[in-house]
Structure 1
Amino acid sequence: MNKFYWFLFLIFFYDSSYGQSAGNFVGYEKSGESLIVQGTSGVLKIQAITSEIFKVQFLNSKTSLAFDSSYTVNLKSNIGFDKISESNNSIQLLFQNCSLEINKIPLSIALKSGNEVKIEDDQGIRYSQDSVFLSFRINPSEVFHGAGGRPFGPDLNKKAFEFYNTWEHAYYDQATGLSQSFNVPFIISSHKYGLLLDSDQPGMMRMYVGSLDSTRLNIEILSAGRWAYYLIHGDSNDKILENYTLLTGRQPLPPRWALGYIQSKFGYKNQSEATNAVSKLQNQGFPLDAVGLDLYWYGDETKMGTMDWYAPTWPSPEDMMTRLKAKGVKTILITDPYISTKSDQYQSAETLSLFAKRYDSGQTYTQDIWNGTVGLLDIFKPETQTWLWEKYKKLSLQGVGGWWTDKIEPDYHPFDAYHILGNARQVHNLYSLFWSGNLFEHYKKDFPEKRLFNLTRSGWTGSQRYGVLPWSGDVARYWAGLKLQIPIIVQAGMSGLAYMHSDIGGFATMSDKTDKDEELDLRWFQFGTFSPITRNHGQRPNPEPFNLSEPFYSIVKNYLNIRYQLLPYTYSLAWKNSISGRPICMPMDYFENRKNLGDINDQYFFGENMIVAPVLLHGMPSRKVVLPGGKWFNFWTDEMYEGNKNIFPTLTVEHIPVYAKAGSFIPLSSSKKRSTDFYTSDSLTVKFFQDISTPSSTFSMFHDDGIDPNSLTNGKYELVDFTGRVSADSIQITTVRKKSFEKSIAKRNLVFEIKNLTSPPVALKINGKDYPVVQYANEFTSASAYYNLANKELKIRYDWECKDPLIITITRDGLGIITATEPPKPANIFTVYPNPGLSRDPLSVKIKFVESGDYSLEVFNNTGTIVAGKQLGKQQNGTVVNFMLDVKKLKGAYIFKLSNEKGKIQTKTIVIE
């Protein structure tokens, strides 16, 4: 972006009157499903898209053309206004979970929950000639996330930034983050709302989030288009993103191979070089799913835009791709929006008038860029879209497995260029959206049996519904560049772009940076393992991990195998994103609304169950890790930590800090795979980080064929639920396949690793039958369990018939096993006698309550079924309760569980004869 232009722009703004607003209230009426509010100088049109999504527009008059179609929003339905309450000062539009309040003098709109104002506009949308202004009143203490892929934050409060997709080569500093290649005018507040801006000509925008006035969010736009804003209510980040992606579209499932390892560089110059790299990786035991071919596949940079193989260096591409595919390796090709005048295809596009034009002459707008003279395709023209797709289709039929759409900001886009949709400056931000949409819709039509792989450098609101897999651009090969990737990934995820990732190792090698920095490569690979996409790329000549020396070579290979072991977990995160909009990588305050967590920029959630804290500096001996509430386990050593505090783990070269949440299930693929093509989820290791602090937890594992683009809509997938119930005396794990399809696996070999089991099991039953526990590790082969006292871990191996529920019940030694890190607390005095008892005689139960609460008593058999119980109601500290409990027809061992509404649990194991 031209910074001088912005300087003039701001001078204009501060000298302006900030445009026309709606003025004061005159009256209102219903028009269809809309509410039309007449002001003294304009009209507000308000629509309820759902009961938690509201659209607001400003019109000069009732007859003005409303902004009722959108390139970015695909949810058009609205529900109308059934409950309207008017007073002297305001109009209330009432819904189940929230309300809109229209203040009359001056006209302004507030989103409320109960009596609490979440956000309120300040004079609404105001228009001047080619300019638009908005401002909102906000709480200075709010934390804001989103706005696209930003390298700063992740709290956007007190910051200013632009929305104009740009490309920055070799970035490594936050100062370059005013504007990025992924700008999304959507932000989420810790005050539990989202704000989206939308226009048919987005132009150039700058947003000030409390940076001019801590109580205001100011937005200043150069645009000739029509504008609307959306207020989105939600009681959590999950709900806000669910509503946002309902409005703008959800990310379809990527092909499962996208979650494997992708090898690329700038670039493989010929067929032999590319195939040799693949063979060397696989022969040395590195798993691999795809190879990315940069511009040399069509010749060199002077032939940019030529969507055809360069025969002298790629003599048999179809045979090459067939052979690679047989090895489980897909071929990804780069494409560009520019066509060089030296390209064989330039004249064809010129004859068909497919390029952007000069406004004054109507001639093709050619420009000289780094690789020669080029024309820019006008992606908004239907003829261009058709011509371009025919190129993509031909190559896809040859065997190309995925696409790499580069430079589609577009990075060189003169303001005076003209497209069929409008002036370049006005429609610039829509360019990448149209490019991705064209590729997605045509691919869906002509290849209905496959999922699209589209690795792309730029996007706008709604890009996620076209299946884009974004990357963070040409980051410099510096430690500082690595550090910026965490906020970029987190902010993109909070903007609907769940698959943001980076070039492992950094793309651009600067003149002051030697090619070889194996520590940086290692740490970037370790971070990339726990990223949405794991892709190695760069300008350096030898980025492949087989070029590393020891110990880096072996550690990187181990991490890439860990990536494949994580596939049951990461693929389930992808499913969760596609059905709900939840990101794969999330900021540290995503689940816990605490301001001190909101601006942590060096660690993140990888799914709800894991925290990843990459190593971001050379030679770090240790680093701070902030643990949120609850208890957390070192993923590598199983060591447990209390939450709500900072820890300072000693760093080793072998691992980066990764922590699993207490109560979490993390399913892993047991066997090594050279490609996701050979993955079936038939053999799993399920880690269960159990702790009495989390009495109930669950995880849903998703599985399908990894290819079918309609598996979700057609129900062609399976879901396996792992559920844990933990008390002082027992642990119960239930595994149930709650959904299946015709390709579902009939049997799975499962190995459960039950962590934090501080004493040997008293009894172990599977589906009500005793199960053997061996004493030595070498005896743990099949159909048995093994307790490792040193690791406090119970391993259970079982061949599960997936159509039947699997219930594992572990009886253990009472209250004494509560984790040693938990300080002793006074417990209710809870006795049941006699023990053993007789089934014909009632048992006597006596409880002296030390902690007040609402209590219940439940009796479980060894399969976890409740067979008796009693609601005890509210009890005060010091109260003593005595009662008799009928146990007729009960025989065997039973667990009596006393619990309150706070989740506090006490148990007794009782034998009834």
Structure 2
Amino acid sequence: MKNKVYLVCLLFCLGSLNGIAQSFEKTNLGVKSIINSNVVEIQFYTPEIVRVIKYPAGKSFEKKSLSVVKIAEATKFISNKQGENLSLKSKSIEVVLNLTDGNVSFKTLDSKSLLNEKKAGAVFTDFNDAGAKTYSISQSFVLDKKELIYGLGILQNGKMSQRNQKVHMVQNNTWDFVTFFQSDKGYGLFWDNYSPTDFSDDPEETSFKSEVGDGIDYYFMSGGNADGVISKMRDLTGQVPMFPKWTFGFWQSRERYKSQNETVEVVKKYRDLGVPLDGIIQDWQYWGDNYHWNGMNFLNPEFPKPQQMIDDIHNLNAHLLISIWSSFGPKTNQFQELKDKNMLMDFQTWPQSAKDVWPPDMNFPSGVQVYDAYNPEARDIYWKYLNKGLFFFGIDGWWMDSTEPDHLDIKPKDFDNKTFFGSFRKVRNAYPLMTVGGVYDHQREVSSDKRVFILTRSAFAGQQRYGSNTWSGDVNSTWEMLRNQIPAGLNFSLCGIPYWNSDIGGFFAGAYNQNWNGGSGAKNPAYQELYLRWLQFGAFTPMMRSHGTDVPREIYQFGKKGEPIYDAIEKTINLRYALLPYIYSNAWKITNGQSSMMRALVMDFDDDKVKDMNNEYLFGQSILVAPIIHAQYTPEIIVKTNEDTGWNKNQTSDKPKTLTVDFSQKKSKKVYLPAGIEWYDFWTNKKYKGGQEINYETTINEIPFFVKAGSIIPWGPKVQYADEKKWDNLEIRVYEGADGEFTLYEDEGDNYNYEKGKYATITFKWNDLKKTLTISEQKGSFSGIIKERQFKVVKASSNTGISDIASEKIDKLISYSGNEISIKL
């Protein structure tokens, strides 16, 4: 201690510039200094991750992060003071602290600038937060003029790069905010604050400004590329568990199935039609009425035998998700217990009225209130009722709706609500992280036999660790909204949260619904085209889930077999199931290898033309998807709703309408193929050189997608559900033109034994020069492992075309018993 004091005093006495002392103190993790009346602390969490803390001198700053779970590692660094600058070098990056003005900058080890704070960029403004004296805080940075940044969460702005805009970040129905961005220079920045925050970027500065904060607290991470940054973000905020295999099949939903008979009959109908289906979702009101909102019990007389309903669904080899919320009606036991413990928040939330009417009839207020999910005891109470009311029936997963949560008719005093961590204002944006995490943690404590699966409407940094797939909220049924979903999902994935989906067909479809061609909106060609194109996009997202209101979405609503729309829907669902071995193996790459399933093209291609591309992406690392996102056969319909709350049903019309469309016509779409590689048209096997835009002929039942040369894709059997058939007779498709590698992953499908090493992998390697495919020795073991199987090897270039389900020509039929084998094609 004496030596430390001596060092500080020595530096204080020796260093001075313009009357400002240039002193610093070494800490266990980095350095600490008082500069211009502010404490500045730099902490190395790893050689690549650095935490920066700033707060007014004389105050204290103690914070347990809600997002960050990593404990800082002991990291070696070299410090060197030259003039007013203090340089701290780890083995990976250099951090420079200006001891005169307190600015921090980040560089590569060869002194290339990564990110600089703006001079005088840290601002603390006194703020009274519901009686607590604190600050509003902001920090500004200076980015390169041509630098592109990605992330910030799910944003419905249609933008890929998030430069040159202002975003007010308060969680709502269709915008899920994550205070994180990453740069095409290979670094990321996480602003660790949960209060309402303004992100702003213009040519002069890039800043985060938050309403409440005892100090500035952010993490800089150097990853070298997008995957590297994502790996650092997950190292900091949590890793991604495996989802059950069945979650990657097709899911049918609607707002809402009104009886247990209706729910079960949908599954039976799919089975009768021979159309694949893995899950059905039961939406709200199975609890009866709004006074019993989210009662977590089957109080509705239309659900008299819930165990029989669930057993019936399971006997049909399907799974059930059920709607649960973050709020409770006043006649529920949960409400009373939480109220007695002061664990409810008083602001307007959905539903506002006790009547199921729109607009809400406020003569009959529902009294529904949001619970304090920040409170660990409140989360215990939530799970207690969820466990005894629903989980014990054998329900397979949770549809956690309104996890942002819904906050309607917002008043400033609403944010004064007290939570376990202080005001609601202080922790507002982390609400979804808390409520979703509470369910995940509790289910993990009581069961390892069933993987947690949560479908949720909101997210915050770190939520990837909680077995959740976030959907983009109650979006409109419009082409513009479909276009917005691609960059929304990609930017969310670039925040390190890989599982995302959207309501296939859009949620609000009332504009299409009334008396079209003598039927509902499902018979309206304008909606048929939009729904089908959305479904074709949805087949290449982490969860393929059809859902919405106003227009029913089941395949049989759109026609019958032999009709173009029905056949195209069926073809798309079958395509999804054929890709399951590829998808599930890519899920393992997420859990085990820090990968992402939806990949912005900037992640994989050094091509300036794709850096800001918002209409194409990779699904896994082999398949280029170019969804059709403009109407080709029908006019585009504009639908407007309240972006914050959704729920505006004034888009219907009672006038009969007709529209005749010839869906057999061929159309065209421009597709850009990234440079540096050759591409195969999936449907024809025609090969294209990358770095060019092509005019691609399209049909109603196919969208353009391409396979990268050097890819190896396992092709699954035709099935009715994910686990119907073992993968003992897979087709292995090899796309020539470059060396390639793919690892097939298999496990028990729906438990956590993989965490104990109970899984197996088979790696396929293609040597393009030698035209040799090597199948490795099978590694690992688990209960039910396939010991004898066949692989049907198909070389793409040897066919004029490969069908969507199975190839007509097989180049090699290989019997495989787990030992390495090489074949020449």
Paired position in structure 2 for 1:9 = none
C-alpha change, 1:652 and 1:71, in structure 2 (3 Å) is same
Q: State how far apart, in whole Å, the 2-side matches of 1:23 and 1:368 are.
A: 60
Contact persistence 1:250–1:580 (CA under 8 A): no
Contact persistence 1:258–1:289 (CA under 8 A): yes
Task: Give the superposition deviation at 1:493.
Answer: 0.5
Q: Does 1:588 align with 2:601?
A: yes
Task: Give the superposition deviation at 1:757.
Answer: 4.4
Task: Give the superposition deviation at 1:367.
Answer: 9.3
Paired position in structure 2 for 1:563 = 576
Paired position in structure 2 for 1:150 = 155
Q: Does 1:617 align with 2:630?
A: yes
Q: Deviations over 1:163-203 (max 9, x none)?
A: 210125xxxxxxxxxxx1x211110100111011103xx21
- Among 638, 645, 665, which residue is 2:692 paired with? 645
Alignment of 1:593-742 (within 5 A): 593-619=606-632, 621-629=667-675, 630-669=677-716, 671-691=717-737, 694=738, 696-711=739-754, 713-727=755-769, 730-742=770-782
C-alpha change, 1:23 and 1:734, in structure 2 (3 Å) is farther
Higher RCO structure, 1 or 2 (CA under 8 Å, sep 6+): 2
Task: Give the superposition deviation at 1:458.
Answer: 0.7
Contact persistence 2:277–2:720 (CA under 8 A): yes
Task: Give the superposition deviation at 1:279.
Answer: 0.2
Q: State how far apart, in whole Å, the 2-side matches of 1:227 and 1:710 are.
A: 41
Task: Give the superposition deviation at 1:463.
Answer: 0.8
C-alpha change, 1:23 and 1:74, in structure 2 (3 Å) is farther
Task: Give the superposition deviation at 1:311.
Answer: 4.8
C-alpha change, 1:723 and 1:25, in structure 2 (3 Å) is farther
Q: Deviations over 1:305-358 (max 9, x none)?
A: 211002511111112212211222111110112222354654344334431259
Task: Give the superposition deviation at 1:755.
Answer: 1.7
C-alpha change, 1:24 and 1:795, in structure 2 (3 Å) is farther
Contact persistence 1:577–1:584 (CA under 8 A): yes
Task: Give the superposition deviation at 1:525.
Answer: 1.2
C-alpha change, 1:25 and 1:366, in structure 2 (3 Å) is farther
- Identity fraction in percent: 27
Q: Deviations over 1:776-814 (max 9, x none)?
A: x9xxx9xxxx9x9xxxx7621122112x0121123xxxx
Paired position in structure 1 for 2:182 = 188
Paired position in structure 2 for 1:43 = 39
Q: Which moved more, 1:305-314 or 1:42-51?
A: 305-314
Alignment of 1:268-417 (within 5 A): 268-343=257-332, 345-356=334-345, 368=352, 370=360, 372-394=366-388, 395-412=390-407, 414-417=414-417
Amino acid at match of 1:681: W
Q: State how far apart, in whole Å, the 2-side matches of 1:204 and 1:353 are.
A: 24
Paired position in structure 2 for 1:469 = 469
Q: Deviations over 1:249-288 (max 9, x none)?
A: 1121111111011111011100111111110011101111
- Among 87, 95, 99, which residue is 1:100 paired with? 95
Q: State how far apart, in whole Å, the 2-side matches of 1:49 and 1:506 are.
A: 42
Q: Which moved more, 1:26-35 or 1:655-664?
A: 26-35
- Among 111, 123, 126, which residue is 1:126 paired with? 123
Q: Which moved more, 1:260-269 or 1:64-73?
A: 64-73
Q: Deviations over 1:838-875 (max 9, x none)?
A: xxxxxxxxxxxxxxxxxxxxxxxxxxxxxxxxxxxxxx
Contact persistence 1:357–1:418 (CA under 8 A): no
- Among 789, 810, 817, which residue is 1:748 paired with? 789
C-alpha change, 1:41 and 1:502, in structure 2 (3 Å) is same
Q: Secondary structure at the match of 2:723?
A: helix
Paired position in structure 1 for 2:80 = 85
Q: State how far apart, in whole Å, the 2-side matches of 1:473 and 1:424 are.
A: 22
Q: Deviations over 1:87-113 (max 9, x none)?
A: 114222112232112233322111111
TM-score by length of 2: 0.85
Q: State how far apart, in whole Å, the 2-side matches of 1:366 and 1:544 are.
A: 27
Task: Give the superposition deviation at 1:537.
Answer: 0.6
Q: Secondary structure at the match of 1:719?
A: strand
C-alpha change, 1:50 and 1:556, in structure 2 (3 Å) is same
Amino acid at match of 1:136: F
Q: State how far apart, in whole Å, the 1-side matches of 2:198 and 2:55 are.
A: 22
Contact persistence 1:45–1:58 (CA under 8 A): yes
Task: Give the superposition deviation at 1:149.
Answer: 0.8
Task: Give the superposition deviation at 1:159.
Answer: 1.8
Q: Secondary structure at the match of 2:261?
A: helix
Q: Secondary structure at the match of 1:677?
A: coil
Contact persistence 1:23–1:105 (CA under 8 A): no
Contact persistence 1:195–1:231 (CA under 8 A): yes
Q: Deviations over 1:395-452 (max 9, x none)?
A: 1111111101111211126324322322222221121111011101100000122211
Q: State how far apart, in whole Å, the 1-side matches of 2:48 and 2:396 are.
A: 40
Amino acid at match of 1:634: D
Q: Deviations over 1:368-395 (max 9, x none)?
A: 4547321221112233211110122121
C-alpha change, 1:279 and 1:23, in structure 2 (3 Å) is farther
Q: State how far apart, in whole Å, the 2-side matches of 1:631 and 1:476 are.
A: 37
Contact persistence 1:285–1:557 (CA under 8 A): no
Paired position in structure 1 for 2:191 = 197
Alignment of 1:716-865 (within 5 A): 716-727=758-769, 730-743=770-783, 744-757=785-798, 795-802=811-818, 804-810=819-825
Contact persistence 2:715–2:730 (CA under 8 A): yes
Q: State how far apart, in whole Å, the 2-side matches of 1:633 and 1:45 are.
A: 52
Contact persistence 1:405–1:454 (CA under 8 A): yes
Q: State how far apart, in whole Å, the 2-side matches of 1:270 and 1:41 are.
A: 65
Paired position in structure 1 for 2:501 = 501
Q: Does 1:533 align with 2:550?
A: no
Q: State how far apart, in whole Å, the 2-side matches of 1:583 and 1:23 are.
A: 51
Contact persistence 2:36–2:101 (CA under 8 A): no
Task: Give the superposition deviation at 1:714.
Answer: 1.3
Q: Secondary structure at the match of 2:465?
A: helix
Amino acid at match of 2:91: Q
Q: Secondary structure at the match of 1:476?
A: coil
Q: Secondary structure at the match of 1:554?
A: helix
Q: Secondary structure at the match of 2:601?
A: coil
Q: Point out the structure with the larger strand share.
A: 1
C-alpha change, 1:758 and 1:296, in structure 2 (3 Å) is closer
Q: Does 1:75 align with 2:85?
A: no
Q: Secondary structure at the match of 1:265?
A: coil
Contact persistence 2:513–2:550 (CA under 8 A): no
Q: State how far apart, in whole Å, the 2-side matches of 1:527 and 1:615 are.
A: 8
Paired position in structure 2 for 1:767 = none
Unpaired runs of 5+ residues, structure 1, are 1-21, 169-179, 359-363, 760-776, 811-913
Q: State how far apart, in whole Å, the 2-side matches of 1:496 and 1:248 are.
A: 9
Q: State how far apart, in whole Å, the 2-side matches of 1:524 and 1:667 are.
A: 25
Larger radius of gyration: 1
TM-score by length of 1: 0.77
Paired position in structure 2 for 1:174 = none
Alignment of 1:241-256 (within 5 A): 241-256=230-245
User: RMSD of aligned C-alpha atoms?
Assistant: 2.4
Contact persistence 2:490–2:599 (CA under 8 A): yes
Paired position in structure 1 for 2:246 = 257
C-alpha change, 1:738 and 1:750, in structure 2 (3 Å) is closer
Amino acid at match of 1:584: M
